[in-house]
Chains A and B, each alone.
Chain A
């Protein structure tokens, strides 16, 4: 089981945003983060907890291990208003978190 908090947040351009994801048991560092815009396929941002996927801006970063993980957006940009999901790839089933919606304050 994966949980995320908060389920939604309101922020302004330039804000630092932090989203947390918690696993019900240790998944070492096999935690991935996605961004999804409405009507689009998800986009991989971070893989294996802290590795930035190719082409993803450096304002996105991930940290954590074991059961507790964090996605940080250092300075929110207009294109970052979206839904964010974590997913564990440690073992099947490769469960997703319930998501965090980031909208405009």
Chain B
């Protein structure tokens, strides 16, 4: 059974830094496309970042230069380092695995999700 558990959220002042962790079980993060998706209170879903199997990383324009996605294969974990936080970064952050179905050979939807971790940026 696959399980993703996010930790590290909380209340942080504008301009501060926070690191979210995603502990994976039942799948190996280094052989999967792992991403972060966030949802501001009462709003829709926003894609944030992805780390590819080969190690390439990509970001939404809204977080580029401030957020960094990484993984630790020895711990089977994915991280999101968030710097220079702003009020508009306030959201629940979800860790998710992107499905690559047999015979399609391209990333598709997120089939496994964590429960989410709330980040509140406020003074």
Check A41 against B45 for contact (C-beta < 8 Å).
Answer: no
- Shortest distance between the CB of B101 and any CB in chain A (Å): 7
User: Do residues B101 and A94 form an inter-chain contact, with CB atoms below 8 A?
Assistant: no
Count chain A residues whose beta carbon lies closer than 8 angstroms to a beta carbon of B: 26
B20, CB-defined interface residue at 8 Å: no
Residues of B within 8 A of A99 (CB): 44-45
Q: B109 contacts which of A87, A95, A97 (Cβ < 8 Å)?
A: A87
Given known A-B contacts A51-B101, A94-B47, A96-B45, A42 and B108 have beta carbons under 8 A apart? no
Taken together as a complex, chains A and B put the C-alpha atoms of A75 and B4 apart, in Å, by 32
Cross-chain contact of B47 among A30, A36, A46, A95 (Cβ < 8 A): A95
Also in contact, A41 and B94, with CB within 8 A (given A94-B47, A99-B44): yes
Does A76 touch B at the CB level, under 8 Å? Answer: no
Q: What 1/0 mask marks residues of chain A from 44 to 57 whose CB sits below 8 Å from any chain B CB?
A: 10111001010000
Provide the bound-state CA to CA distance between A99 and B39, in Å. Answer: 12
Interface size class of B (residues with CB under 8 A): 20 to 34
Q: How far is the CB of B78 from chain A (nearest CB, A)?
A: 16
Total A-B contacts with CB atoms under 8 angstroms apart: 74
* A50–B114 alpha-carbon span in the complex (Å): 25
CB < 8 Å neighbour of A93 from B58, B101, B104, B113: B58
A69 at the interface (CB under 8 A from B): no
Which residues of the other chain, A, contact B101 by a CB distance below 8 angstroms? 47-48, 51
Known: A41-B94, A93-B60. A85 touches B45 (CB 8 A): yes
Given contacts A34-B109, A89-B98, A93-B61, contact A48 B104 (CB under 8 A): yes
Cα–Cα, bound, A44→B111 (Å): 6
Which residues of chain A come closer than 8 Å to B96, judged between CB atoms?
41
Identify 13 residue pairs between A and B in the complex whose beta-carbon atoms are under 8 Å apart, listed by A's number: A34-B110, A36-B45, A41-B96, A41-B115, A44-B110, A44-B111, A51-B108, A85-B44, A89-B108, A92-B50, A96-B37, A96-B45, A99-B44
Taking Cβ atoms with an 8 Å cutoff, the residues of A that contact B are: 30, 32-34, 36, 41-44, 46-48, 51, 53, 83, 85, 87, 89, 92-99
